[in-house]
Amino acid sequence: MKLTISVIKADVGSIGGHLRPSVKLKTTVENYLREHGKKLLIDSFISTTGDDIALLMSHERGVNDNKIHELAWDAFMAGTKVAKEQGLYGAGQDLLKDAFSGNVRGMGPASCEMEFEERPNEAFLFFTADKTEPGAYNLPLYLAFVDPMHCAGLLLSPKMAKGFTFTIMDVDYTEGDRLIELNTPENIYDIACLLRDNQRFVVESIRSRANDNISVVVSAEHLRKVGDTYKGKDDPVALVRTQGNFPSAGEVLSPYRITHYVAGTMRGSHIGPLMPAKQNSTISFFDGPPIVSCAAFSVHEGRFTEPVDTFDHPFWDWVRNNAAQKMAEIRNQGFSGPAMLPYSELEYGGVGEKMNQLDKQFIVRKDSAVNGKKNKAA
């Protein structure tokens, strides 16, 4: 059967700041989806990651379906009502428009979807991340699909020998989706050259070259102007079909051991290590570290098994300790140098405004005096 899996996630309010949605909020969204999705969905699953709620849905309506997007939007609207009633922080934060218009893209929530012919033993991973940006998946995806140091299948499985096609989006281009397709193994240096810049170039999808089947979709979205600010780079979700022609679950998870530094954490304006966290984790220290969670599923005729919480294993406790240490190290230098994002990437206007004020106070020295003394040679 031709199956579609859709993930739509939003932050519509959380307790105590940007920490975690209330149980009542999550239950409201969940109940709304179950009740109103009866005719549209085959199955659904809901999780929270920090202050975000992600809806995982299976159906046969294809990607970008109006009705599915509207269902998710309405579920988040129902949640927003409860968030307001409970006085939650940032109630309705990610619902940027007053009325739904066809597709959640560009309206605040993040989404990724894929349509495929269901395999007899269909397996996939459902990634959700908080306090970071879509480019956070760039390095782990590159390593899982390109590097035999993580993906042993590139050497051991003939099914993977043909490589993969990466579709990469230039998210800074605001007029539409600006995309490039590059093949592995021949274009791997070009792919690395783009993916080094997590803020600008983001993996949108990856397909197998053996059969053109889709393996990966990420909630890559170009920036859009909402009011006075640009929105789009927020708390990303991703789906990865595994096994067979694709890397195995363990190969896709392997690069998350690195806990590479990504943008996000406090006020979306700092650098922190990406910490693999258990499902439904909260946020705490310095609104970070940035966290990523992952649930593995098998699916048959659109029905999900129970999830396996892939980062709920003693190995990842050690990884989390390493990430905590890396977080403490970079926090030691506060706002200095690479610990804080450059002006162009700051989510808050404060530094920009201050710079505009200070700019007026700068003077250009008329003569070439050095250290207050005239330079005679000049």
The whole-angstrom distance between residue 227's C-alpha and the CA centroid of its chain comes to 23
Residues 6+ apart with CB under 8 A from 13: 21, 22, 25, 51, 79, 80, 82, 83, 84, 86, 88, 89, 90, 91, 92, 93
Confirm whether 256 is a catalytic residue: no
Residue 133 binding ligand 13P, by CB under 6 A? no
Dist. CA 64–CA 68, nearest whole Å: 8
Q: Please identify, using beta-carbon distances, which residue of 50 and 289 lies nearer to ligand 13P.
A: 50
The sign one gets for the Cα dihedral 11, 14, 20, 21 is negative
**Cβ(290)–Cβ(129) below 8 Å:** yes
Q: Which one is catalytic: 89, 162, 230, 278?
A: 230
Residue 347 binding Mg ion, by CB under 5 A? no
The sign one gets for the Cα dihedral 69, 72, 78, 83 is negative
Residue 150 binding ligand 13P, by CB under 6 A? no
- Angstrom distances, CA of residue 48 to CA of 129, 150, 189, 233, 292: 9, 28, 36, 19, 11
Q: Tell me the closest approach of the beta carbon of residue 172 to Mg ion, in angstroms.
A: 21
Among 10, 51, 111, 291, the residue binding ligand 13P under the rule CB under 6 A is 51
Among 19, 77, 180, 266, the residue binding ligand 13P under the rule CB under 6 A is 266
Dist. CA 160–CA 208, nearest whole Å: 8
Confirm whether 233 is a catalytic residue: yes
Residue 51 binding Mg ion, by CB under 5 A? yes
The whole-angstrom distance between residue 66's C-alpha and the CA centroid of its chain comes to 23
Kindly identify the residues of this chain, within the stretch 88-147, that bind Mg ion according to CB under 5 A: 90, 130
Question: Measured over all CA atoms, what is the biggest interatomic distance in the chain, rounded to whole angstroms?
Answer: 85
* Cβ-proximal residue to Mg ion, closest one: 18
Kindly identify the residues of this chain, within the stretch 230-259, that bind Mg ion according to CB under 5 A: 235
250 binds, among ligand 13P, Mg ion, none (CB under 5 to 8 A by kind): ligand 13P
Residue 267 binding Mg ion, by CB under 5 A? no
273 binds, among Mg ion, ligand 13P, none (CB under 5 to 8 A by kind): none
Partner residues linked to 56 by β-bridges: 7, 45
Confirm whether 230 is a catalytic residue: yes
Residue 268 binding ligand 13P, by CB under 6 A? yes
Among 9, 18, 69, 150, the residue binding Mg ion under the rule CB under 5 A is 18
Residue 131 binding ligand 13P, by CB under 6 A? yes
Q: Please identify, using beta-carbon distances, which residue of 65 and 234 lies nearer to Mg ion.
A: 234
Kindly identify the residues of this chain, within the stretch 237-256, that bind ligand 13P according to CB under 6 A: 243, 248, 250
Phi/psi for 128 (5° steps) reads: -135, 145
Phi/psi for 185 (5° steps) reads: -85, -10
Positions marked catalytic: 11, 230, 233
What residue ranges bind ligand 13P (CB under 6 A)?
A: 11, 18, 50-51, 90, 93, 130-131, 234-235, 243, 248, 250, 266-268, 287
